[in-house]
Amino acid sequence: MRTALTTLVAAVVAAPAWATDVVVPYPEGYRTWTHVKSMVIEDGHPLHASFGGIHHIYANDKALKGYRSGRFPDGAVIVFDLLEAPRADHAITEGPRKVAGVMHKNARRYAATGGWGFEGFAGGDKTQRVVGKQAETACFACHVPQKGRDYVFSRLRD
pLDDT higher than 50, residue 146: yes
59 three-class SS: strand
* Residue 43, phi then psi, degrees to nearest 5: -55, 135
Contact call for residues 119 and 43 (beta carbons, < 8 A): no
| Banded pLDDT at 21 (limits 50, 70, 90) | low
pLDDT higher than 60, residue 7: no
CA distance 92 to 104: 30
For the stretch 55-114, pLDDT in tens is 999 999 999 999 999 999 999 999 999 999 999 999 999 999 999 999 999 999 999 999
For residue 150, what is the DSSP state?
T
pLDDT of residue 1: 41
Contact call for residues 103 and 78 (beta carbons, < 8 A): yes
pLDDT higher than 80, residue 18: no
| Banded pLDDT at 4 (limits 50, 70, 90) | very low
Give the CATH H-level superfamily of domain 33-149: Cytochrome P460 (3.50.70.20)
CA distance 92 to 95: 9
pLDDT higher than 50, residue 19: no
Contact call for residues 47 and 16 (beta carbons, < 8 A): no
Contact call for residues 65 and 80 (beta carbons, < 8 A): no
Confidence (pTM):
0.84
Q: To the nearest whole number, what is the mean pLDDT of the chain?
A: 88
